[in-house]
Amino acid sequence: MLDTGDDTFMTAAAAEPARRGGVARRGMKRAFVFPGQGSQAVGMGRELALAFPAARLLFEEVDEALAQRLSLLMFEGPESELTLTENAQPALMAASLAAIRVLEAEGGFDLPQKIAFVAGHSLGEYSALAAARAFSAGDAARLLKRRGRAMQQAVPVGEGAMAALLGLDVEAGQKVAAAAAEGQVCAVANDNAPGQITVSGHRAAVERAVAIAAQYGARRAIMLPVSAPFHCPLMAPAAAVMAQALGEIAFAAPLIPLVANVSAAALRDPGALKRSLVEQVTAMVRWRESVLFLCAAGVEEVVEIGAGRVLAGLARRIDPGLAARAVGTPAEIEALIEEL
């Protein structure tokens, strides 16, 4: 993932679909988590649309909101178009919301009764809030279209970059970023899991961070194939766009509290959530701390909803005793309905 529970970071163990650590059981306390950019793939959501009317209706709702056949792009590609930030972000939200609508329609699934918290990795916060009825799927799609475009336009292509620093904790990563900055922007963008962080900023500064990371104990440092330096101060123009965009929609208190990227704490107040979503554009994603918050709050299973399996893998790295799984296919949804 780019926003990121990056696919760059996925180990073979993290990619396994089977749950590790805790064993899921009926009645256990659960959180639903929603993936960020990088989990998109051509074909996502197609099986749900073929199998369930509720999913088809969701995709039609998103298509209409955007005046774009986004669902066709999701189902058939081309990949080069799907991976554009302004398409990938609403597409990932649509895949997640389609799974939620199927759970509700086919399983009589009542989210507030079954789920203690929601959380999302960067753009996944919009998916989480739409699932929790803070705003509509159509509003989420329009917001993410604007967000993706604004993030791409905030920094000219080639001037920014991101890198993965493997084997470092966030404190060591911050020292690397500070040493590499030399008057430019270089900041920790994501604290994903133990030993999995990214830095973001001006390309030259990020390249310096990669060059010196081993001196601070990094096992490996690699430049990431991204189109912009996300989650750093260079994204300030995009944050301004999102402040205006979020002020233009109806925003209710979510039915389920959101564990926010910026604070790694639960929020329900609409004003606080709006401020968090704006700040999130330039701030570090505190995903490791968010999962630890869920554990401290008694959550026993994390269920990743939608495309990909990155967040389920990260959850197991953060707490090996935590049950974690991904739910996005018809079979996975049916298994969850049967269990719950």
Q: Are strands 301-305 and 30-34 parallel, antiparallel or unpaired?
A: parallel
Greatest CA separation for the chain: 56
Residues with active-site annotation: 122, 231
Taking the C-alpha atoms of residue 227 and residue 158, their distance in angstroms, rounded to an integer, is 8
Angle between helices 203-212 and 170-181 (to 10 degrees): 120
C-alpha pair distances (Å), 24 with each of 19, 81, 298: 8, 38, 14
C-alpha pair distances (Å), 169 with each of 153, 186, 200, 318: 31, 16, 16, 12
Taking the C-alpha atoms of residue 188 and residue 303, their distance in angstroms, rounded to an integer, is 26
For residue 8, the 8-state DSSP code is: G
Q: Output helix, strand, coil percentages for the chain, rounded to the nearest 5.
A: 50, 15, 35
For residue 222, the 8-state DSSP code is: E
What token pair was written down for 71?
């669902």
CA nearest to 326, candidates 41, 27, 63: 41
> Residue 267's beta-bridge partner residues?
258
> In 188-269, where does DSSP find H-type helix?
203-212, 236-246
What token pair was written down for 88?
């990938």
